[in-house]
Amino acid sequence: MIKHIVCFKLKQGEDVHKAAEILRSMKGNVPTVIDLEVGEDFLHSQRSYDIILQVTLKDQKALEEYQNDAYHCSVVKEHMHKVRESSVAVDYNI
């Protein structure tokens, strides 16, 4: 199993709740996603990111399919690329 985690810092004035809902919309729309969790930061410290995305996938092949999935690319990535200031990611075996 693979855990794919991405933290997003949004541009000033962008809607965190809308971005989180778009990330959540992958559940049921991206077939390789086994589990998905989205969290919105409440602390808002200097070093905080605004949103965390955690996706569980079967294996590296499923991760590659996820990265190229039509819904993920055309809806989720497109929106997040418009609203993010920066992002960091980590992928690891569980």
Mean pLDDT over the full length of the chain: 98
The class (CATH top level) of 2-93 is alpha beta
Taking the domains of the chain in order of start, what are their residue ranges? 2-93
Q: What is the pLDDT of residue 47?
A: 94
Q: What is the pLDDT of residue 90?
A: 98
According to DSSP, the residues that pair with 9 across neighbouring strands are 86
Nearest to 26 by CA among 16, 15, 38, 17: 38
Name the residue with tokens 């993010």: 84
pLDDT in tens, 11-50: 999 999 999 999 999 999 999 999 999 999 999 999 999 9
Say how many residues make up the chain: 94
Q: How far apart are CA 60 and CA 2, in angstroms?
A: 7
Q: What is the pLDDT of residue 73?
A: 98
* Alpha-carbon distance values, 21 to 2, 62, 66, 77 (Å): 23, 23, 18, 13
Name the residue with tokens 């079967």: 58
